[in-house]
Amino acid sequence: MNAKSDVIRLFKELTKEEDVNMNSRLYDYMDSLDSVEYIIKAEQFFNVSIRDDEAEKINTPNDLLKIVYKYRPDLQITAKIKRILNKN
């Protein structure tokens, strides 16, 4: 599992856009109802529960990823290990 690519994949599935990245602004691609759906899908996918006050601060896929890592640090550690192994 690669949390970063999964966050982007969920974003692309919802928006049907291909030219998005980790800094794409949610509200440039979706309305507020779609953004709630995006967060719910991420919660289900990553098995986390994002508080409402945190959800209000999610403006980009990168913001979402930071919150996912907060609740699932194992995903961040796995990503770092993969980067180290790929360098060798």
Residues 5-55 have pLDDT tens digits of 999 999 999 899 889 999 999 999 999 899 999 999 999 999 999 999 999
Report the amino acid identity of residue 55: A
Query: Which comes out higher in pLDDT, residue 1 or 44?
Result: 44
Report the chain's C-alpha Rg in angstroms.
Answer: 13
Instruction: Quote the pLDDT of residue 74.
Output: 87
**Domain map of the chain by residue range?**
3-87
**Structural fold of domain 3-87:** 1.10.1200
- For 65, other C-beta atoms within 10 Å of its C-beta total 22
In one-letter notation, the amino acid at residue 54 is E
- pLDDT tens string 46-72: 999 999 999 999 999 999 999 999 999
